[in-house]
Amino acid sequence: MAFSKATLIKRVKAVGTYAEAEIAEAIEKIDDSEVATFNQLIQKLHKNLAGVKTEKVDGRKPEKKKAEPTMEQKFTRLIEKIRMCLEKYEASDAIDNWSLAFTVGEYYGNKTFTEIQDIHLKLVNAGATAEKMKLLTFFERGSMYNFLKQSDERFGRWRDVCHKLNVCRSTVDRYVDFYHIISAYPRLLICELIFETIMTFHGKLKKYLERHDDLEGKLRLPLKQIRIGGGGIHSSRRLPGGQGPADDPEELLTDDANWDPSWQLADELFDSSSE
């Protein structure tokens, strides 16, 4: 067999792409005498490479980092999602069923792919329902806090009221703002958006709706009747928008708030430092 240095070079480079554990396992399969000879050759090769600059040596190229979507791109997607969810919501007059049905600890070893698809759909629907219920509880909390803030110290100083409820005053402001936003646009609750997304894009959405009356009109409609978890039916009249939509607030209490995932921790730290 003809000897080729080019082939040897390629093989040496190829060996370097394996993990240490993989190389160690391969060496274990070689006779000790051959390992000793191989070690001597590697030492010579390493010595000859000493001092060689490696800036232009081709190796594994790092994966290109994906470009982060811009705020404008995210907002465009938000509008698309709102329109899509509203169209689906408006397509049926049936009672909106917020199902939480799913099995914890499901065994998939005996399932067909079709059965797994059905389970997946249940999990997705349950997660979406849980998110809508979370938003509904935030709305109710905002309604309660808004009432308490306007009670003229009926229940004591505002600082003391928050302390008794074990809630940060800055967090209360977030929920009060959310209550006003959802009172103005009740159907945001069914648009598959999380709390932080709604609050982050409120300002841009408000300006957009000023120029798009069709979408604003749809978001201002009250919610349909809701059945949660197979239980009783919640009347439209008692749900957000049931008494008629409110005005979108001109200015939020949290206009300068940070909405990254750690906002709750920031609120707690800010509240404790202002005592």
- Predicted TM-score (pTM) of the model is 0.72
53: pLDDT strictly greater than 70 = no
CB 236 within 8 A of CB 223: yes
Instruction: Please list the helix, strand and coil fractions of the chain in percent, rounded to the nearest 5, in that order.
Output: 60, 5, 40
- Range scoring the smallest mean pLDDT among 38-42, 65-69, 124-128, 202-206: 38-42
Residue 270 to residue 275: CA distance in whole angstroms: 9
pLDDT for 1: 46
In this structure, the number of other CB atoms found within 10 A of the CB of residue 196 comes to 14
Confidence of residue 198 (pLDDT cuts 50, 70, 90): very high
Q: Is 259 exposed, middle or buried (0-12, 13-18, 19+ CB in 10 A)?
A: middle
CB 161 within 8 A of CB 198: no
CB 160 within 8 A of CB 102: no
pLDDT for 251: 86
User: Residue 178 in 3-state DSSP?
Assistant: helix
pLDDT for 39: 76
Residue 274 to residue 236: CA distance in whole angstroms: 41
Question: Which whole number is the average pLDDT over 76-87?
Answer: 96
Could you tell me which of 137, 98, 146, 149 has the C-alpha nearest to residue 240?
137
Residues in the chain: 275
154-176 pLDDT, tens digit each: 898 889 999 999 999 999 999 99
Residue 156 backbone zone (phi > 0: left; psi -120 to 50: alpha; other: beta): left
Handedness of CA 214, 216, 218, 220 (dihedral sign): negative
More confident residue, 234 or 126: 126
Residue 258 to residue 268: CA distance in whole angstroms: 13
